[in-house]
Structures are given as structure tokens and as C-alpha cells.
Amino acid sequence: MSNVNLAIIYYSSTGTNYKLSKWAEEAGKEAGANVKVLKVQELAPQSAIDQNPHWKAHLEATQDVPTVSNDDIEWADAIIFSVPTRFGNMAAQMKQFLDQTGGLWATGKTINKVVSAMSSAQNPHGGQEATILTLYTTMHHWGAIIASPGYTDPVLFAAGGNPYGTSVTVDQDGNIKEDAEGAVKHQAKRTVQIAEWVKKANQ
């Protein structure tokens, strides 16, 4: 059984990336990992949140989800990030959290973390791939090991076949258009497996 510590770190305004994170949590536990699902801190003003009933409802529904800290990064052997795209880039909430990991980076505590990422947008070419790749740029600076899904299982094609990480499109009602659950779970199990190899090699 795996003894990998897996942190699933997400930002979600209306629930899509939270749903992806929960699928990843299920698969991580099935793979034997110790799993934490953690949200990044919300930065948007309450006035903006109040104008969107879906945003407000999701924020209230997930108020008990722990907020991630640098201690969680240090604890984790593997990390899966899930974040919506904002103009082809990661949401500011996630970027702010990553910008606060400089102390861990400076002391070598981000080296050899096994990482993978997922994303969402409202249309198929809404910047999902760019968002994932931009997040991976930070991971290169961390000295992390990127566990992209590639084309390692046919289940990925039901979710659109993104080799960098599972990405989805969402309609106006918040429904995920792709059959993405299998792809998310494969990506999570692959991330845990690679983390197992790395952890064993370093013992």
C-alpha cells in the first residue's frame, strides 16, 4: 500500500474544480495515499461574490474545506493542482498562493515534489492548456517532477485528450461537458504511482 502524502490544492469559484478535486481525492485514496483536499484563499471582494448566486452558494458550501498553507506543501510528496483559467492563465487566487512559497523554495523543500495539474474554462479553446503549462512553469522553478498524463490510458480521450492534464469545459449551468471522471482518476493514480517511485528511490 502506498504511503504517499497527496495534497490536492484547488481554487473554484462555482464548483467545477472542487468537483475535479473530489474525484482526484477518491482515486488517491483508492491508490493508498494519505490525501488532503485544500482550497486556496479567496481574494475576490464579497460584493463581487454576492452578485453571482452560484459563486456565493459554492463558497458557503465549502466553508469547512481547509485553506492550504506552506506546511501542506512541505507535508506532501505529491500535489495535484486544479484551477480555472482566467484569460489563459491561472486564477489570481492560485497565483498568490504559489507566490508565497518562496521560503520553501529557498530552503529546497519543493525539490522533487511530484506534481500534476487540471483546469477548466467555459469553451474548448478557453485557455485550459495554457493555464496548466503556466502553472508547470512555476513547478520547474520549484525543482518539482511533473507527472502529466500524456496518452497513457484511452480513458483520457473521453475528457478531450489533453496530454498536459485533465481539462474540461463548463456550460452556463455549471455542468461539465466532457466525461472527465475517468481521466481525473487516472491522472491522480498516475501521480501517486510516480510519487511512490520517487519516494522509494530517496529512502
Tell me the per-residue pLDDT of 148-170, one tens digit each, with 9 for 90 and over: 999 999 999 999 999 999 999 99
Tell me the per-residue pLDDT of 63-82, one tens digit each, with 9 for 90 and over: 999 999 999 999 999 999 99
- The reported pLDDT for the residue numbered 24 is 98
Q: Are 128 and 119 in contact (CB under 8 A)?
A: yes
Write the burial class of residue 50 (CB in 10 Å: 0-12 exposed, 13-18 middle, 19+ buried).
Answer: exposed
- Domain architecture of the chain: domains with CATH: 5-202 (3.40.50.360)
**pTM (predicted TM-score):** 0.96
C-alpha 98, offset from chain centre: 12
